[in-house]
A and B are shown apart, each in its own frame.
Chain A
Amino acid sequence: AQSVTQLGSHVSVSEGALVLLRCNYSSSVPPYLFWYVQYPNQGLQLLLKYTSAATLVKGINGFEAEFKKSETSFHLTKPSAHMSDAAEYFCAVSVQKLVFGQGTRLTINP
């Protein structure tokens, strides 16, 4: 069975600082991995996806994630946080359905 663990339900960074959101997955087969973002009262929007083409994946809004098989991790990073990045972020693994982590709420301090 596939599962996802997101470390830290709430992360707070200063504007301009590095954003690091952690995600570890469990999968018995090579996984497909996704990061989604959710703004208040909205649905989910895809930030990026890993489907085995490259271990470093670049997404929208300056985000990127690195797939590390040895660590079963797929952490999301952004070099410089912007106020508009404040939202909830979900890591997900898929085989025959999307299995989501519990989410990390990102707060940006001015």
Chain B
Amino acid sequence: KAGVTQTPRYLIKTRGQQVTLSCSPISGHRSVSWYQQTPGQGLQFLFEYFSETQRNKGNFPGRFSGRQFSNSRSEMNVSTLELGDSALYLCASRPGTGGVWDTEAFFGQGTRLTVV
């Protein structure tokens, strides 16, 4: 069974640009979540999607958005990039249908975004 696939692995963007990151969950998993990892702030929850609906959202500005397609694949978009958006963005999928996280989340290898 293929794992969680994130593309691209590395990105370099300029301030003010926008970027779209992609995540393909494990087959059969309907929940996809996104996390931002930085040395200063650690791992922070961005949002979770389930059956194409955003189920939960972290404390990030509106420049960060996401969506999920009918095949459970997910994309996140960051508009008007700032230097502080440089981070490793991790996607996680899980099989659980409930809102409670009682099941393991499987993580992708991440997309390393550098904003210059």
Q: By the criterion of a CB under 8 Å from any partner CB, how many residues of chain B are at the interface?
A: 24
Q: Does B4 contact A (CB under 8 A)?
A: yes
* Contact present for A51 and B102 (CB under 8 Å): yes
Q: Which residue of B lies closest to A99 (CB)?
A: B45
Near B by CB (< 8 A), chain A positions 87-108 give: 90, 94-103
Residues of chain A with a CB closer than 8 A to B90's CB: 43-44
* Contact present for A97 and B107 (CB under 8 Å): no
Indicate the member of A32, A34, A43, A103 with the most B CB atoms within 10 Å.
Answer: A43
Residues of chain A with a CB closer than 8 A to B33's CB: 97-98
- Contact A43 B107, CB 8 Å, known A90-B43, A97-B56, A100-B43: yes
A94 touches which of B58, B102, B108, B109 (Cβ 8 Å): B102
Type the 1/0 row for B70-93, where 1 means its CB is closer than 8 Å to any CB of A. Answer: 000000000000000000001010
Instruction: Label chain B's interface by main secondary structure.
Output: strand
Instruction: Label chain A's interface by main secondary structure.
Output: strand
Q: By the criterion of a CB under 8 Å from any partner CB, how many residues of chain A are at the interface?
A: 22
* Contact present for B101 and A44 (CB under 8 Å): no
* Contact present for A98 and B104 (CB under 8 Å): no
Type the 1/0 row for B91-111, where 1 means its CB is closer than 8 Å to any CB of A. Answer: 010000001111011111110
B110 touches which of A43, A96, A103 (Cβ 8 Å): A43
A103 CA to B42 CA in the complex, in Å? 8
Residues of chain A with a CB closer than 8 A to B106's CB: 46
A47 CA to B6 CA in the complex, in Å? 21
Q: Which residue of A lies closest to B41 (CB)?
A: A102
- Contact A96 B107, CB 8 Å, known A43-B90, A90-B43, A103-B42: no
Chain B residues in the interface with A (C-beta under 8 A):
4, 6, 33, 35, 42-43, 45, 48, 56, 58, 90, 92, 99-102, 104-110, 112
Chain A residues in the interface with B (C-beta under 8 A):
32, 34, 36, 41-46, 49, 51, 90, 94-103
A sample of 7 inter-chain contacts (CB < 8 A) reads A44-B92, A90-B43, A95-B101, A96-B56, A97-B58, A99-B45, A103-B42
